[in-house]
Homo-oligomer: A and B are copies of this chain.
Amino acid sequence: MSAELRVGVVGVGAMGADHVRTLSEAVPSTRVTEVFDRDTDRAKQVAELAGGRVAESAEGLVHSADVDAVVVASPDSTHAALVLACLAAGKPVLCEKPLAVTADDALRVVEAEVAGGRRLVQVGFMRRYDPGYARLKRTLRAGLLGEPRMVHNVHRNAASGPGSTGASIVTGSMIHELDTVPWLLDDRIVGIRVTSPVADGLPDPQLAVIEMASGILATVEVFVNAAYGYDVRCEVVGTAGTASLAPAVPVSLRSAGTDGVEVSSDFVAHFADAYRVELLAWSRAALAGGAEGPSAWDGYLANVVAEAGVAALHSGERHAVSPVDRPSLYDEGVR
Contact = CB atoms under 8 A, between A and B. Distances in A.
Interface of A: 1-2, 24-31, 50-51, 130-132, 135-136, 139, 144-146, 149-150, 152, 154, 195-199, 205, 207, 209, 211, 214-217, 219, 221, 223, 225-229, 231, 237, 239-263, 265, 273, 280
A132 B251 contact: yes
A320 to B, nearest CB: 14
Contacts of A135: 249-251
A233 to B, nearest CB: 9
Nearest to A207: B217
A149 B205 CA distance: 7
A258 B257 contact: no
A280 B228 CA distance: 34
A194 to B, nearest CB: 11
Given A228-B257, A239-B225, A251-B132, A150 B205 contact: yes
A270 to B, nearest CB: 11
A243 B251 contact: yes
Contacts of A228: 240-242, 254-258
A199 B221 contact: no
Contact of A257 (B244, B247, B251, B265): B265
B24 A1 contact: yes
Contacts of A246: 247, 249-252, 261
A241 B256 contact: yes
A209 B259 CA distance: 26
B31 A24 contact: no
A198 B149 CA distance: 8
A163 B139 CA distance: 32
Given A130-B250, A197-B214, A243-B252, 9 more contacts: A149-B198, A152-B152, A205-B237, A228-B241, A231-B254, A244-B252, A246-B247, A246-B250, A258-B263
A132 B249 CA distance: 8
B199 A215 contact: yes
A275 to B, nearest CB: 13
Contact of A1 (B51, B146, B197, B252): B51
Contacts of A31: 1-2
27 contacts: A26-B28, A136-B251, A139-B251, A139-B253, A152-B152, A198-B215, A207-B219, A225-B239, A226-B237, A227-B239, A227-B256, A228-B240, A228-B242, A228-B258, A229-B257, A231-B254, A231-B259, A241-B255, A243-B252, A246-B247, A246-B250, A248-B250, A252-B260, A254-B263, A257-B262, A258-B261, A258-B263
A244 B228 CA distance: 14
A250 B256 contact: no
B197 A215 contact: yes
Nearest to A134: B250
A192 to B, nearest CB: 13
Contact of A253 (B29, B226, B241): B241
A282 to B, nearest CB: 14
